[in-house]
Structure 1
Amino acid sequence: MEGAVPKPSEKRVALVTGGNRGMGFEICRQLASSGLTVVLTARNETRGAEAVDRLRGLCLPDVVFHQLDITEPASAARLADFVRSKFGRLDVLINNAGIMGVTMEVGDEAAIKEMMVGKDQNEIAEWLKQRTTQNIEQAEECVRINYHGTKTVAEALLPLVQSSSDGRIVNVTSAFGLLRFFSGEELRQELSSICTLTKQRLDELSALFLEDYKSGKLEPRGWPTDRVYAAYQASKALVAAYTRILARENPALRVNCVHPGYVETEMNCNTGDLTAAEGARVSVAVAVADHGGVTGAYFDRTEIASFV
């Protein structure tokens, strides 16, 4: 019936962005295995639907798919309408979707595996870095997806999370986005001043970063100075700051961000030392923790850590 109020779901409802593969798929699997109803989202409809079929093949029937382009406000709004009409609320939102925004020239899978023999993670990371490049278009896309996309989805779904009796938001970030990688004290202090920092200022800083990237002024402003990874680092630092602002503005919710560790993903050519399942456990643990608990925190794997 048009205008009818949806019947509230008896099970807790979770939504995961970038859920069709890798760690996102594992997050969906583990949430569903824990008894939650899961909305798996992905930009590609075919891949998203196939991921849901794989989960249902694992005897996890309470998983549904909805298409989502996290960079498009209209797409996020359609997703919010879907969740509202089907469930009436959202208990858990995990913003997992993200990119490195780089090009890696590393050869085939066999060459990568051969390279990794006998090397530690630092040596592997350096090998990758030497074969990695980034242009301004990739830097812009990295910031647009990682920061603005996370913010777009969170803002669209926030009223539904607020409708939960125990709403949770978990934003996947990275230890690479910690403020220690910023070269300027003034910028570190501004991003640390959560009591006064605003979402509008974060948007301004994201635009300022790209201006400085284009003009070669990363170091004078105090941004991360490694041009290959600077956009990823800045975008993840902005996500961490946004997480803290969201927690401050919504004290009834539990809003945290997590670093899952160096996980095997397509972003690092599967050179991580943790499996997708191991990385996913961090987001899931924070999402399904006992009622109450910490908010506005950064988890480095299972431990609460400093944003600096």
Structure 2
Amino acid sequence: MNQTNQARTQLGGTALPIKKKRNPERAREERAFWYFISPWAIGFLLFTGGPILASLFLSFADYNVVDSPKFVGLGNYTALFQDKLFYKSMSVTFYYAILSVPFTIICSLVLAVLLNNKIKGQAVFRTLYYTPSIVSGVAVSFLWSWLLNPDFGVVNSLLSQWFHIKGPGWFTKPNTVIPSMVLMQLTSLGGTMVIFLASLQSLPSDLYEAASIDGAGRLKKFFKITIPLISPVILFNSIIGIISSFQVFTQAYVITKGGPDWNSYFYVLYLFNTAFAQFRMGYASAQAWILFIVIFLLTMLSLWVSRRLVYYEYDSKQ
């Protein structure tokens, strides 16, 4: 083969491609990879990828589960943008996200900073703060509905006995129902807090030592060193928080059912009622794709805004 290539090259021709022998060990590793990943791949295609494509098709059809789907084109989307409940549920969800995401980020970061200090029983405190985040959302919703009950709730009882203040209506008043939902985030800060804690523990100590020598105090070191260095983690948690806030469902379904006066009628609750109470699967599929587009655009907007706010240690532009 080499002699043939040399001869063709000398005559001005193109050398024939030389076939490389496939390494048997590498071939076995590739087969093993596909064998091990096949359960996930099959499960994804059957239970995730397939339903996603089916919902895209159904979003252009009139489908009530019983009868066959009937293609209606953009009829579902046209009707959706003329639906008052669509705008109401979307405004409620946006309002919740605006309050919930900053509240979660700030509280989680404060807890992470406090738990990052070397004190006795540090592991115990970390476990205590993380444990509520793994409790079922239904159980947490029932707990908060009892704590914030305006008639016999613990919070209003303490406000009345200790401070002689009449507690608010919490979940029963239109102006307090969303802030009450946001307050429930206090029991789900564990995951975000752990991510912040891991990022804080990876920060180089020499920067803080140099800042101390220059006379910088704790607050200055926090805002000038800590915040810039963990800004990628803040961005990550913010995006995850935005996605989670637009998918909130359990609290409203268990506690308020969308009330009072539709002021906790979240978009996913609206989608759920459309699909499983009214069996309008085509319309619900259109709602789901609108939700996907909104979350995608907000994620892209967050990434675009973060270009000047997020510091990357190995960014060549820095």
TM-score tier after normalising by the smaller chain length: under 0.3
Higher relative contact order (CA 8 A, sep 6+): 2
TM-score by length of 2: 0.27
Higher strand share: 1
Higher helix share: 2
Higher-Rg member (1/2): 2
